[in-house]
Amino acid sequence: MHAVVCVKQVPEQNSVKITADKQINSDGINPIINLFDEYAIEEALQWAEKNDGQVTVISLGSDDATDSLKKALAMGANEAVLINDPALEHVDSQSAAKVVAAAIKKLDNVNIVFCGKQSTDDETGQFGPALARFLGWPQLTYVFKVHELSETSIVVDRALEDTLETVEASLPVVVTAVKDLNEPRYPSLLKIRKVSKQPIPTWSLGDLGLGGSDVAGNVQVADRVPPPARPSGEMISGNVQTQVSSLVQKLVENQIL
Nearer to other proteins, 12 or 148 (CB): 12
Backbone angles phi, psi at 18, to 5 degrees: -105, 125
Query: In the complex, what is the shortest distance from the CB of residue 252 to other proteins, in angstroms, rounded to a whole number?
Result: 33
Degrees (nearest 5) of the Cα angle 61, 62, 68? Answer: 70
* Helix ranges restricted to H, the chain: 35-51, 66-75, 93-106, 127-135, 189-196, 240-253
As measured in angstroms, the least distance from the Cβ of 195 to other proteins is 9
Question: Using CB atoms within 10 A of its CB, is residue 121 exposed (0-12), middle (13-18) or buried (19+)?
Answer: middle
ω into residue 172 within 30 of 0, thus cis?
Answer: yes
Contacts to other proteins by CB under 8 A:
67, 70-71, 74, 185-190, 192-193, 196-197
Decide whether 197 or 230 has the Cβ nearer to other proteins.
197
Cβ 15 vs Cβ 126: under 8 Å: no
Output the smallest distance, CB 238 to other proteins, in A. Answer: 24
- Of 61 and 172, which CB lies nearer to other proteins in the complex structure? 61
Report DSSP letters for 60-81, one per residue. Answer: ES-GGGHHHHHHHHHHT-SEEE
Instruction: Provide, rounded to whole angstroms, the least separation between the CB of residue 122 and other proteins.
Output: 23
Residue 124 or 182 having the CB closest to other proteins: 182
Q: Closest approach of Cβ 202 to other proteins, in Å?
A: 17
User: Which of 160/189 has CB closer to other proteins?
Assistant: 189
